[in-house]
Structure formats: structure tokens, C-alpha cells
Structure 1
Amino acid sequence: MNLGLGWKLYGDGSAPPPGAVVRPGERLSWGRTVGLGAQHVIAMFGATFVFPVVMGLDPNLAIMMSGVCTIIFLLIVKGKVPSYLGTSAAFVGAAVIISPDGSNPAALTGAIMVAGVVLAISGLAIHLLGAHVITKAFPPPVTGAVVMLIGFNLAPVVANVYWPVDQWIGLLTMAFVVLATVLLRGFLGRVTILLGLVFGFVMSWVFDLLFGARPVAQDDGSTLDLLRVDLSAVSDAAWIGLPSFHAPEFQTSAILVALPAVIALIAENAGHVKAVQEMTKDDLDPYMGRAILADGVATTLSSAVGGSPTTTYAENIGVMAATRVYSTAAYYVAAIVAILFGLCPKFGALIAATPSGVLGGITVVLYGMIGLLGAKIWVENRVDFGNPMTLVPIAAGLIVGIGDVSLAFTENFVVSGIALGTIITLIGYHVLNALAPASMKSVPLPMSALDPDSDDRDDTPRP
């Protein structure tokens, strides 16, 4: 059985000349391959550990499982689709609702696990029926709306949770990320979130030196003076050890909140396969379903042990575009390095010590970018909002999702926010499409711009 594990040496193993490419089944010398693998680790690193922190999950486990899941992905696609699987941002909105401040990680990972199973089943169906079913079931107007409401639904989290804790650190961190994204070029331009995290850490330490501890409200209504940067847990953590595992817990209400992210993940994976196909000039449509199935299997496995959801990363596709080296051997190296990082508890403790004010500044940018990626899908697919059949269901779904409107069926069964907005958008669009006269029906464009990740200048995974 061919799993894509045999690589032919490219030329003499040195870097390809201008205009030449190293194909997925080829490799450079092992020394150069290790160097390329390190580049892939750096490209995925910032976002892969930032989002677990935001979702209240163990960043060490997320890093380790990203390596494991990347290997699983490459095996399922038989090495035909070079990609790295990092932490997905698509479930951040669900995490805020299901497990605020990391209070219920078991229910969150249980909901993500079910979504992973649904994603895997969707990938299998796409593999059997053909890649064209994606745009038929989830046309760009719907996909863009779901991505948008996933991001903008999080605005109250920034306003009410992170920002008030330390507004000045949040403002400085946000300003740094915005300026760095515009002013920095090349590799630094792709890791602005990571740089913002480091900048915020440093500024928090400086504020502690200049202004001392700040008052922090406690659950009982009292206040306690605490330093912004507390690294005591880092010194206590071991250098080598396993991350924190936990079993998932399944709650119907939580599952309904997480399921809309499946639509975003299908669109994202499909877009990435198309991007790789454009770069390698290989016909990857037969592997579209395999790629989505593989991401579903990876997300299911990761969440089953308490890890983060996964998705293919545009950042690593950007590395391939820059180097013109599409060898999957480099991805196996990156995966092994990530697994080794995940086995260092001290590293995880350092990430967990990120001050809340820093997260406030970063999430202002991240959540807004997630939402605007939905608009990017509309623009690239030339969605016609002059057509009421498109405008009305999407408008209703967005307001319901962003405004966190609820619909109570019983006292214990309530559908709200992202889940309800997605249902209204998806069902409303297809029902109107079926009932509308032929002159009003929209004609789906070829799936050329479903990828919400084509801009590789920052290090944020897309939903």
C-alpha cells in the first residue's frame, strides 16, 4: 500500500534553481530537509499555541497532537497533499460559550470530537460523490456568513473578559500587532501574533516594575493585588513530561454550538487543497475528500485525549510558496519536532502564564480577522447581495449569530448564537433557492476562492 513514505532525492539534494520545484514525493538532502522542517514548525508555532490558550486548553498537548495529527493526515492523503495540521480557530466561538475561562474543557472537547466525526463523514461523502458537492451544499454566500459570525460573535468576549483586566497592556499589544502586520515583511510579517505575544509579555513585566501589582476582582467581590507576569509555575514545571490529558464529555447543547465550525473547516480544507493544486500543478480533486476526511479523523483523535481541534495551515502553504519545496518529508520532520516540544511541560507553563491583558490585545485583532475572512470569501466569489434571495437569509443569520439571539425549545434545550445563526443562514438560503423563480436563483461560481487563508503574512490559523 502506497502511503507516500518513499522520497526520491531531488538532483544532488541541494536547493532547486529558480523556477524549479521539489515535488511532494521528492526531497532535498536530509540536512536541508531538517532545516525546511524547522521553518514549518516556526510558521505554525504562534497560532497553534495561542488558540489553545484562548480556548482554555493545554497548549503543550495542542503542539504535541499537531505533530501526531499531521502524520495521520499525510498518511491518509498518501503524501499527495503536503500540509501541516495546527490548532483551528473555527471553534474559538464555541469554546467561549461552552467553556468560558476554561471552566468546562471536557464538554468542549466532547463537542469538538463530535464535530470531528461529522467532518470525517463529510470528507468520506465528498470522496465518494466528488469535490463539486462542496459548493452545492455550502455555497460561498453561506460559507462566508458562517465564518463571519464565528468571528464577530466573539466581540463581547474581548469587551467583557480580556480587555477590562488590563486595558493599557491590551491597547499597547493591539497597536504593536497592527503596526507589525503592516510594516514587517517576509518571515517576520507572518509571525506578528507571536511577536505581539512576546511584546505584550515584556510590556507587562515593565509595567510590573514601574507601577507594581494591579487590583484584580475575585469571584467573591473582593479585590486582590496581583502581578501581571507570574512565572512561578514555570520554575516548578519539569523539563520533560507528558502534557495534561482528559476524557471528553458529551452534552447536546455544547455539540450544537460546535457543529457550525464544520462548514468553515470544509471550506478551509477545500481551499487549501486548491491552493496546493495550483502550486504543484497536480490534479488533487480526487484527494479533496481524503484531505477533509483526514482533518476530521485528526480532530476526533486530538479532542479524544483533550487536545485542540486541527486544520490545515495556510502559513505552511506560504512557506512552500516561498521555497518552492513541496516535499512531505519536511512535514514529517516538522511533526516530529512538534511532538518533542509537546513533551516539555516547562514550555507549556510559560505559555499558560500569558497575562490576560496581552490576550486582550491579541484577541481584538484575531477575532476581527476571523470575521472579516468571511467577507473575503464573499468578495473573492463575487457574491451578489443585490439579490434578495442571498441578502435576506444571510442578513437574518448574521444578526442572530453575532447578537447571540436564543431560541428556547424547552427549558433545558436552547439553540443560540453561532448555532442558530448558521441554521437560519443555511436552511434559509437553500429553501429560498428552491422556491425562488429561475431569474433570482444564484449560480455558484467554480470553487476557486473558498480559501479564507490566502494571505500568509500573519500567523493566524483561519477558521
Structure 2
Amino acid sequence: MFGWTLHGNGRDVAPGKVVAPGERLNWPATIAIGVQHVVAMFGATFLVPTLTGFPVPTTLLFSGIGTILFLIITGNRLPSYLGSSFAFIAPITAATASGAIGSALAGIVAVGVLLAIVGVVVQVAGLKWVDALMPPVVAGAIVALIGFNLAPTAWSNFEADPIAATITLAATILFAVLFKGFLGRISIFLGVIVGYVYSAATGAFGVPNAVTGLTPAEAISQAAWIGLPEFHVPDFAAPGTWSTLAMFLPVVLVLVAENVGHVRGVATMTSSDVNRYTGRALIADGLATGLAGAGGGSGTTTYGENIGVMAATRVYSTAVYWVAGFAAILLAFSPKVGAVFNSIPPGVLGGVTTALYGLIGIIGIKIWVDNRVDFSRPVNQYTAAVSLVVGIAGFTMHIEAFEFGGIVLGTVAALVIYHVGNFVARLRGSGADDGGPIPAVGQIGGDPEN
């Protein structure tokens, strides 16, 4: 598993070549690129626990552990970093608003188990059934409605401090437009830094927390440099937990799309042999997500930010991901790091999430564009139109003790309208839409061009 061969002279990537998963550069270069991967994933990974109230160090810990687990399960032949998935933000936010963190963690564990089961099926039966269930028009609708469903959350934070939010949003957009390559990919992270500095300069850190009574500056100064992360356990017996689980199930479809897209992207740049690890990738991400939920971390997924780093460096060596995984684990044992992230003001979060949630929606729309979805067909029109309105408006449905939110209902609407509509069309002899294979959508929350 660890028999990497040295690429070329070990210092540089040969012209016109890439460093394959089974190769590596010399260890100083490998370590440097591994640390760069940590920086690339950091901006998006810390935002998920920050937005949902989860402990940041715990999420980082399970992110690093999940990455190592992923490498082991895929036989050390599929380079990937498992960071926090933005697809979990909406159901976690809804679950924690109506109950304790235990209910949200139960949902994350359920998603992990189901994703691992999907991986086993894919490993045995192949990907054709996934392509048939979730063609581009459906996949795009599901991804888009998950992002747009979060719009009210962005506004509630934005109005807490409109000036800080506007400065953060403007900085994020400017960094994305002005910089290319790596700096452009971490524009969200840089925008948060700008907003954070503005808030600190205008006295936001002198306001005591309503619960702890400490100002952010005091909380940071009192936090230890080294300490254990904060762990929580899922609570399947809590009131409302089982209705909460329904909100998490659509996330499985997003994670399938992201993992399949990641494998295909790596295969395009390295070797088509990588595609045979698709089932293992789904199993690995499912186990990593379930493990994270069992200990208090957020669910994981393959990261588009790190795909960008690989594309820029042409280094697809799995060795750098071992470095990145262990670096994330080390960072997790610093309570001071968590205190810094927890001190980010709501206005700053409102500014960055206004862009971030919109980007999630745009990724869904990009799926339609890239796959040339034919919207002259009524079945495609209604699949997208109805599901988006249901998700954006936040439709809800109560069936006894169960409550189904906009993401669940929007996902069901997309699947039912598309498949029933095409079935009726075939009965009438009018033909059906050729959905095509599931697209390589890239990581939600990352660069939409990935």
C-alpha cells in the first residue's frame, strides 16, 4: 500500500506529466504540498461547524481521520481529502433548531450508513442504476434547492450587522475576481478574514457572550493551546429524532454525486483504472461520515478545493494526503483554534454565506448547463421548477409525528415528477428525456468550476 515510486528526480514534475497516485516527490516537497492541501480545505471545512454550532476542533479531527480511512479503504490509490460537506448545513440547522445536537448527529450517522450501503451496491452492480435514478436534470435540481433553501439563514445573520456583512461579501467577491489559482480558490476564507478584522477594529469583540459572559477576546485568551476536542454522541431516542432523519436523506444523493464526480475527475487526469474504485470511495466516505457523526463531527465528502490544488500542481500522489490528514488531526488538538473560529461575528457569517449558499445553487444550475439539459421538454421544466420552489419557499408537511422540510419535499418532487413524467411520456409514445450519466459536479462549497 505504501510503495510509492519516486517521480523523476523527486523535486519537479516532468514536463507534460503528472505525479500519479502511486508516485511521490521527495519528502520535503510532499510535506509542503500536503500542508497546502490543509490550507485549501481549511476555509470551507471550518465554515460548516461554525455555521451549525458544531465544535470546530472535533470536525477537523474527524476530517483528518476520515481522510486517512478513505486512503486505506481505497487501497491508497485514490487521492482525496474528506472535508465538511455543505450539504449537511440545512438539515443540521433545522435539527438543532428544534432539538439538541444529538438529533443532528443521529441524522449524520444515518447518512453515513446509507452512503456506505450505496457504495457496496455500486461495488457489486456498477453505476448504471445511479445514472438512471438521478440524471442531470434531477441531480441539478437537488443540488440547487439545497443551496437556495438556506437563503433565509444567510439573511438572518446578514441583518445582525449589515456593514460587516457587506464588507465580507464584497471582499469575497473581489478576491474571487482579482486572483487566479490558489488565492482565488480560497476567496471565501480570505473574505472571512477581512470581515473578521473589520469587526475586531470596530469593537465587536468587546461584547460579552450571552451564555458564557466572556467577550470573544477573553474566550480566545483563556483557551489552551493544547487540549482534547469536545465530543458528543448521537441520540436516536430524543423526541423528534426520527422525523429529523428524513431531512438528512436527500444529502445521500448529493454525496453520491460528489464522490462519483471526484473519481471521474481524478481518472481523467491520471488513469481510467481509477474508476474501479468508485464503490470503495462511496463506502469510505460513508464510514467516515458515520464515524464523524458518532463522535460529534460533521459529515464529510470529497473536496473540490483539493482537486483544484492537484490540477494546479499536477501532483496526484496519495502521499500528500497522508500528510494533510495527519496535519488536520494535529490542529484538532488546539482549543485555541476552535475559540478563534467560534468568535467569528454573525454579520461576517451572513456576508460569506450570502455568496456561499448562492454558489451551491449555481453548481446545481451548472449541472444543467454542462449536460445540455433540454428545458423545452415539459417534464424537465416541471422537474426543476416545482422542486426549486418547494425548496426555496421551505414547504413543510406534517404526517403524525414526522415533519418533512423543503429539501426533502423538493427532492421527492424532482424524483417523482421526472420518473413518472417520463413513464407517462413513454406510454403515449412521445419519448422520454435522455438524462445521461450523473455529472462530475465537484465539491459543494468550493470553486463551482471544479
TM-score above 0.5: yes
Distance 1:325 1:83 in 2: 12
- Alignment counterpart, residue 97 of structure 1, candidates 84, 91, 94: 94
For residues 309-350 of structure 1, what are the alpha-carbon distances to aligned partners after superposition, in whole Å with 9 as ceiling and x for unaligned? Answer: 100011111111111111101100111111000011111111
Q: Which residue of 2 aligns with 1:418?
A: 407
Distance 1:11 1:196 in 2: 39
- TM-score normalised by L of structure 2: 0.93
Distance 1:454 1:119 in 2: 17
For residues 19-58 of structure 1, the aligned pairs below 5 Å read 19-58=16-55
Compared with structure 1, are the counterparts of its residues 454 and 196 closer, same or farther at alpha carbon in structure 2 (3 Å cutoff)?
closer
Structure 1: 5+ residue stretches without partners: 220-225
> Does residue 435 of structure 2 align to residue 444 of structure 1?
yes
State the aligned residue count: 443
Q: Which residue of 1 aligns with 2:60?
A: 63
Structure 2: 5+ residue stretches without partners: none
> Does residue 183 of structure 2 align to residue 188 of structure 1?
yes
Is contact 1:181–1:457 with CA below 8 Å preserved after alignment? Answer: no
For residues 394-450 of structure 1, what are the alpha-carbon distances to aligned partners after superposition, in whole Å with 9 as ceiling and x for unaligned? Answer: 32222112111122222x222221111111211221122222224330113244x33
Is contact 1:148–1:372 with CA below 8 Å preserved after alignment? Answer: yes
The RMSD of aligned alpha carbons is 2.3
- TM-score normalised by L of structure 1: 0.91
For residues 141-180 of structure 1, the aligned pairs below 5 Å read 141-159=137-155, 161-180=156-175
Compared with structure 1, are the counterparts of its residues 294 and 74 closer, same or farther at alpha carbon in structure 2 (3 Å cutoff)?
same
For residues 32-431 of structure 1, the aligned pairs below 5 Å read 32-100=29-97, 104-159=100-155, 161-208=156-203, 230-250=216-236, 251-410=241-400, 412-431=401-420
Is contact 2:304–2:447 with CA below 8 Å preserved after alignment? Answer: no
Shift of 1:184: 1.4
Distance 1:154 1:20 in 2: 42
Distance 1:8 1:213 in 2: 54
* Code of the aligned partner of 2:87: A
For residues 214-233 of structure 1, what are the alpha-carbon distances to aligned partners after superposition, in whole Å with 9 as ceiling and x for unaligned? Answer: 899x89xxxxxx99x72211
Which runs of structure 1 show a deviation greater than 3 angstroms over 4 or more consecutive aligned residues?
212-216, 452-458
Identity level (%): 45
Q: Which residue of 2 aligns with 1:223?
A: none
* Code of the aligned partner of 1:68: I
* Code of the aligned partner of 1:207: T
Distance 2:27 2:33 in 1: 10
Distance 1:267 1:248 in 2: 26
Q: Which residue of 1 aligns with 2:421?
A: 432
Compared with structure 1, are the counterparts of its residues 215 and 46 closer, same or farther at alpha carbon in structure 2 (3 Å cutoff)?
closer
The structure with the largest helix share of the pair is 2
For residues 119-162 of structure 1, what are the alpha-carbon distances to aligned partners after superposition, in whole Å with 9 as ceiling and x for unaligned? Answer: 11111111111122221111111111111110101111122x20
